[in-house]
Amino acid sequence: MAIDVDTIRKVANLARIRVPDERLAPLANELSGILSWIEQLNEVDTDGVEPMTSAVAVSLPMREDVVTDGGDSAQVLANAPAVRSGFFVVPKVVE
C-alpha cells in the first residue's frame, strides 16, 4: 500500500519523532517501497493459523510478589538529564 505524506506525518507523531517537511515525501516513498515488498505475505494462506506470539513454548513463570530490589534512587537518577532534590526534572506538563 502506498503511504502518503499525511500518513507519515501522523505516524511520526504517534512515534514522537519530528520529521522535517522536506523529509516527509522521501520517507513516504521509502516506507511505501518497504510495505509493498511486505505485501507478498498476502500470498500465504493463514486461515485458522494461531498467531505465534512467543519463540518458545513455555508459559511465563510467576514469582512471589515480594520486593527484590530498591533503595537505589541515587543510581536510578544517576543518568538523568536533569535532577533536583532526588527527583527527575521534566518539562512542564500542565499549565
Partner 1 sequence: MTALTDLSLAEALEGLRARAFSSRELTAAHIEAVERARALNAFVLETPDKALAMADASDARLARGEAGALEGAPLGIKDLFCTRGVRSTAASRILDGFTPPYESTVTENLWRDGALMLGKLNMDEFAMGSSNETSAFGPVVNPWRSGGSNRPLSPGGSSGGSATAVAARLALGATATDTGGSIRQPASLTGTVGVKPTYGRCSRWGIVAFASSLDQAGPIARTVTDAALLLRSMSGHDPKDSTSLPVEVPDFPKFVGRSVKGLRIGVPREYRVEGMPREIEDLWGRGVDWLRDAGCEIVEVSLPHTRYALPAYYIIAPAEASSNLARYDGMRYGLRVEGPTLSDVYQLTREAGFGDEVKRRVLIGAYVLSAGYYDAYYLKALKVRRRIAEDFHQAFEQVDALLTPTAPSAAFGLGDNSADPIAMYLNDIFTVTVNLAGLPAISVPGGVDAQGLPLGLQLIGRALDEGTLLSLSGALEKSAGFTARPERWW
Residues engaged in binding partner 1 (CB under 8 A): 3, 7-8, 11-19, 27, 30-31, 33-35, 37-44, 46, 49-56, 58, 60-61, 63, 72, 75-76, 78-82, 88, 90-93
Tallying the residues shown for the chain, one arrives at 95
Nearer to partner 1, 22 or 72 (CB): 72
Of the candidates 5, 3, 9, 10, the residue with the CA atom closest to the CA atom of residue 33: 3
Q: Residue 73: CB partners within 8 Å, gap ≥ 6? A: 86
**In the complex, what is the shortest distance from the CB of residue 26 to partner 1, in angstroms, rounded to a whole number?**
10
Among 75, 2, 71, smallest CA distance to 38 is for: 2
Nearer to partner 1, 25 or 38 (CB): 38
- Residues 60, 38: Cα–Cα separation, whole Å: 31
- Residue 83: CB minimum distance to partner 1, A: 10
The distance of closest approach from Cβ of residue 86 to partner 1 in the complex, given in angstroms and rounded to an integer, is 14
Least distance between partner 1 and beta carbon 48 (Å): 9
The single-letter DSSP state of residue 66 is S
